[in-house]
């Protein structure tokens, strides 16, 4: 073949390719136009159908009301002298009105409380007394804390962390970093907590044993000295607080009651200044930054004060 033949074939192929592209564009345009026409006609048919149905309903209203009036008059002529039926009907209507009004009032109050809760940032409430509610709370905490930085304030941490069934056991194992504050069992706050609580099983020895078991558990975690920081505060516990990422789980330490008997509230972080998440976050950071609260070194078992001074833990609290 000569170069001229190759050039002619190339020009023919290009021409065919151009015709195919033009035909495809025409088909696409026709399809799009058909779709627009069909969709436009469907909308038009819909509006026409709505107008026809509305006109039909309006045209039948006089006949409908006339029929209902005749039926009502016929029924009333039959029951107007039945005093027992009339009294029963009046009582029934009165009861229905009372129920409807009470339900409306309850709904209005619930909506008002719901708006208040949303304004405060509360997204979950757990009574903590049922097996199902505890299971749901444990699952939510695990979801909130996966590979997140967490902050915890508790009493001894035993039932929350060291216990294999603790609601934060899996959380502390799977988090990125953790700052934990526990009650110093040798402090005056621990003595005050033992004095005020009604549970006779809680003694100074039991508190100390539970804190020791929590420390043993924390030391056994992988890279505990890099991921976990622990401080021991001296005051009676006020809040059982777990800040898991963007969620703050809060319980109040009642002076005379076990904290497990009290409800747990969950607040979410948001830009709304009315939310309480920021308040609890600031509470934790203020407590953590308090120079009067020393840090417990998980490697040496010593209390490290902000000035760098190291002191051995008093009593029999676990040491390295």
Relative to beta strand 228-233, strand 239-244 is unpaired
How much of the chain exceeds pLDDT 90, in percent? 32
CA distance linking residue 282 with residue 271, whole number of Å = 15
Question: According to the per-residue pLDDT averaged within each range, which of 28-32, 83-87, 229-233, 299-303 is highest?
Answer: 229-233
Exposed / middle / buried, residue 170 (Cβ in 10 Å: 0-12, 13-18, 19+)? middle
Tens of pLDDT, residues 184-234? 998 999 999 988 887 778 888 899 999 999 999 999 998 888 899 999 999
> pTM of the entire structure?
0.66
State the CB neighbour count (10 A cutoff) for residue 70: 10
CA distance linking residue 284 with residue 61, whole number of Å = 68
CA distance linking residue 143 with residue 40, whole number of Å = 48
Q: Report how far Cα 86 is from the mean position of its chain's Cα atoms.
A: 52
């Amino acid at each position: 073949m000569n170069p001229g033949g190759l050039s002619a074939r190339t020009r023919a192929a290009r021409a065919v390719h151009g015709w195919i592209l033009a035909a495809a564009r025409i088909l696409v345009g026709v399809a799009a136009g058909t779709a627009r026409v069909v969709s436009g006609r469907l909308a038009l048919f819909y509006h026409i159908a709505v107008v026809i149905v509305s006109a039909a309903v309006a045209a039948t209203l006089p006949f409908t009301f006339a029929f209902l009036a005749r039926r009502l008059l016929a029924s009333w002529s039959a029951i107007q002298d039945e005093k027992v039926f009339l009294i029963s009907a009046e009582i029934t209507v009165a009861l229905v009105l009372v129920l409807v009004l009470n339900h409306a009032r309850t709904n209005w109050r619930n909506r008002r409380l719901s708006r208040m809760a949303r304004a405060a940032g509360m997204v979950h409430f757990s009574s903590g007394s049922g097996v199902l509610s505890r299971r749901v709370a444990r699952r939510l905490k695990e979801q909130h804390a996966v590979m997140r930085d967490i902050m915890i304030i508790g009493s001894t941490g035993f039932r929350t962390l060291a216990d294999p069934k603790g609601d934060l056991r899996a959380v502390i194992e799977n988090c990125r970093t953790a700052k934990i504050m526990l009650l110093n069992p040798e402090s005056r706050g621990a003595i005050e907590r033992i004095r005020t609580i009604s549970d006779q099983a809680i003694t100074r020895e039991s508190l100390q044993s539970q804190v020791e078991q929590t420390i043993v558990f924390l030391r056994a975690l992988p890279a505990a000295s890099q991921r976990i920081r622990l401080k021991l505060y001296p005051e009676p516990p006020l809040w059982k607080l777990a800040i898991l990422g963007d969620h703050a789980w809060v319980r109040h330490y009642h002076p005379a009651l076990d904290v497990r008997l009290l409800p747990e509230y969950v607040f979410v972080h948001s830009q709304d200044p009315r939310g309480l998440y920021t308040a609890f976050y600031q509470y934790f950071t203020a407590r953590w930054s308090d120079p009067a609260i020393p840090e417990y070194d998980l490697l040496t078992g010593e209390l490290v004060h902000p000035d760098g001074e190291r002191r051995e833990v008093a009593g029999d609290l676990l040491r390295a």
